Structure 1
Amino acid sequence: MEVLWLTEKEVRSLLTMDDAIAAVQKAFLDHGMGRTQMPSKSYLHLPDHNGDLRCMPAYLEGQDMAGVKIVNVHPGNPLIGLPTVMALLILHSPHTGEPLSIMGATYITSMRTGAAGAIAARYLARPDSHVIGMIGAGAQARTQLQGLSRHFQIDQVTVFDSFADRARAFAEDVLGFLKCDCIAVAGPEEACECDILVTTTPSRQPVVRNEWVRPGTHINAIGADAVGKQELESALLKRAKIVVDDIVQSVHSGEVNVPISEGILRPEEIHAQIGEVLAGKKPGRVSSEEITIFDSTGLGIQDVATGHAVYEKALQSGMGRRLELA
């Protein structure tokens, strides 16, 4: 028995944003059609180390793919030269249970999340959206913008980060892969003057106030992925059409978790899961004036589907190394 080992460098060389969007779109559609198994994330909270470890198993019955991702979130890691998020993905054969491949999944995590934001915006944002606001300028902000650029003609990007030098560095980086004006702004309110707003912070206090968001805005709320995290003021969610990636996971640990736990928002007020919108079971945007929010918590089906795309390309190209297990 052998397993194919793929390093982060090899994964990065194989995976494109177009690959990730195609894989995640199929995974969301399967989820919307009830063709997936995906237990909620299991968390190991590590308060003494300001972080956590998560286990994310998933089975896509329609595509016959199975696997599990183990991922951490340690916000202090950049201070010691490590990524905030690091991950490992194991793909298994649904037929025998044998492991097929083990691969670095830090890049997969970032790319599949950017792909999810792009897919959601395609269905929920105004088609003529051309100004993007970014709150948070870390690694995830980059892939969110890369994904959006596949579906929208982006003329301007405004970015705010609590570390001003990081916002300026991000603005310079954007010019390397996108032809547009990119401006680092002094406050989050300025970033909200946009057509599509993307929030990618680990905040536990709202960083976007209700009155800053104008009618017609779409928001990709990416940062809230654990109990107690919240980027958007609760009153803003009450104004908006909310679409989540997975209802159970979002109620537990997504952007909606705090307003629901406080009794401000009811789970029944969530409009749809994104897979239901893709499957035509629920409508996406229906007017140019409504505010739409995509609450992205990150799903194991996204990782397994994207990892399988990498695995298939590795087999075709002969990349990676075979390691004997038994």
Structure 2
Amino acid sequence: MPETILLNQSQIKELSDMKEILDSVETAFRVHAERSVEMPAKEYLFYKKFRGDLRIMPCFIRKMDESGVKCVNVHPDNPRKYNLPTVMAMIELVDPKTGFPISIMDGTWITNMRTGAAAGVATKYLARDNSEILGLVGAGVQAETGFEAINEVMDIKEVRVSCRTCETREHFAQKITEEYGIEAKAVDTIKEAVVGSDVLLTTTPSREPVVKSKWVSPGTHINAMGADAPGKEELDSHVLYKSKIVIDCWEQASHSGEINIPVAEGIVRRSDIHGSLGEVIIGKIPSRTSDEEITIFDSTGLAVQDIVTAWNIYEKALEKNIGQKMNFLE
């Protein structure tokens, strides 16, 4: 009788790092663009009473015979009220031949890391080669993993950190300077983080634009990561007008990504979208065509990113005999 391997967060952290997850996420975008993936758009349950939601994200990668489902929440009040992370997740990996649950693992760390890695992969393919200044709008966990991933693909010389809380942005900037030896400074306004930045990473839960078009310089690449549910947006719609927009998946981006409100209002149509990041990676569509072009990556987070990443971790756990074995059929 096969057994299910249970992996907690500390065990998962021993089995992977950002460099490996960058490779996993790039592979995920690639196989998605090659149409080797069965992946319905994520489904939502909204807990309006508690200001939160639950998302179900299944995926089957036919080319790799890897399958699974992630269950993930977003509750912004958690850190303040309950001393819990805003985002928590569980991932179940399923043997596609039998449907047997081969592994159940914490998905919280994987979610944060693969979200950051998506920004890294997008920066690798869409940012100017001579990019040096990184602007951060938001200084939470996803800003941290996004910075870590972008630092793997970009020669960062300066980081500008903005968020609502002075103490948070000061601590974040200090951490970057001390741990990475990169000049980082906390700035008082979002405008200061945006103006003059070569690459911008936005990771806020905002429901109204916080980045104005007039602040964005020609040649900027923007990783718009914060809008991941209907009604959220971080960018002034005028930024979209003058940019090359690259998405992860039309079904999700049009429903819950940075473009969801402009699409609902008829401001942005599917024909205005350059294509998906996976299509850029496999060479189906071009990346940026000039150093003056503004590029935007609209990231909603795909189940295929989670499953490729989690499957690699599961295989390493098997190899190293890590994790608790459980037979749920006993």
TM-score (norm 1): 0.99
**Which residue number in structure 1 is paired with residue 267 of structure 2?**
264
Give me the CA root mean square deviation. 0.8
Matches within 5 A, 1:170-209: 170-192=172-194, 193-209=196-212
One-letter amino acid matched to 1:259: P
Tell me if structure 2 keeps the 8 A contact 1:19–1:309.
no
Tell me if structure 2 keeps the 8 A contact 1:69–1:88.
yes
**Which residue number in structure 2 is paired with residue 234 of structure 1?**
237
Q: Measure how far apart 1:175 and its partner are.
A: 2.7
Structure 1 CA distance for aligned equivalents of residues 62 and 89 of structure 2:
23
Matches within 5 A, 1:98-247: 98-192=100-194, 193-247=196-250
**Which residue number in structure 2 is paired with residue 69 of structure 1?**
70
Structure 2 CA distance for aligned equivalents of residues 178 and 272 of structure 1:
34
Identity %: 46
Structure 2 CA distance for aligned equivalents of residues 255 and 104 of structure 1:
27
Change in Cα spacing, 1:175 to 1:313, as seen in structure 2 (3 Å) is: farther
Structure 2 CA distance for aligned equivalents of residues 174 and 37 of structure 1:
39
**Which residue number in structure 2 is paired with residue 11 of structure 1?**
12
Counterpart secondary structure, 1:128: coil
**Which residue number in structure 1 is paired with residue 252 of structure 2?**
249
Query: Which of residues 69, 94, 97 in structure 1 aligns to 2:96?
Result: 94
Q: Deviations over 1:43-85 (max 9, x none)?
A: 0000000000000001111111100000000011110211110
One-letter amino acid matched to 1:72: N
**Which residue number in structure 1 is paired with residue 28 of structure 2?**
27
Tell me if structure 2 keeps the 8 A contact 1:167–1:184.
yes
Counterpart secondary structure, 2:316: helix
Q: Measure how far apart 1:176 and its partner are.
A: 4.2
Counterpart secondary structure, 1:177: helix
Query: Which of residues 86, 102, 105 in structure 2 aligns to 1:84?
Result: 86
- In the alignment of these two chains, the number of paired residues is 326
One-letter amino acid matched to 1:162: R
List runs of 5+ in structure 1 lacking aligned partners: none
Moved more, 172-181 or 142-151: 172-181
Structure 2 CA distance for aligned equivalents of residues 59 and 19 of structure 1:
21
Q: Deviations over 1:5-56 (max 9, x none)?
A: 0001111221200111111111111011111011011100000000000000
TM-score (norm 2): 0.97
Structure 2 CA distance for aligned equivalents of residues 230 and 18 of structure 1:
29
Structure 2 CA distance for aligned equivalents of residues 63 and 274 of structure 1:
20
4+ aligned runs moved over 3 Å, structure 1: none
Structure 2 CA distance for aligned equivalents of residues 309 and 43 of structure 1:
27
Tell me if structure 2 keeps the 8 A contact 1:38–1:58.
yes
Asked if residue 318 in structure 1 is aligned to residue 318 in structure 2, the reply is no
Structure 2 CA distance for aligned equivalents of residues 303 and 10 of structure 1:
17
Structure 1 CA distance for aligned equivalents of residues 65 and 122 of structure 2:
24
Structure 1 CA distance for aligned equivalents of residues 93 and 175 of structure 2:
33
Q: Measure how far apart 1:267 and its partner are.
A: 1.8
Query: Which of residues 267, 281, 289 in structure 2 aligns to 1:286?
Result: 289
Counterpart secondary structure, 1:149: helix
Q: Deviations over 1:232-277 (max 9, x none)?
A: 0011011100000001110010000011111211121010111111
Structure 1 CA distance for aligned equivalents of residues 60 and 251 of structure 2:
17
Q: Measure how far apart 1:177 and its partner are.
A: 3.4
Structure 2 CA distance for aligned equivalents of residues 249 and 262 of structure 1:
16
Structure 2 CA distance for aligned equivalents of residues 224 and 267 of structure 1:
18
Q: Measure how far apart 1:322 and its partner are.
A: 0.1
Tell me if structure 2 keeps the 8 A contact 1:125–1:196.
yes
List runs of 5+ in structure 2 lacking aligned partners: none
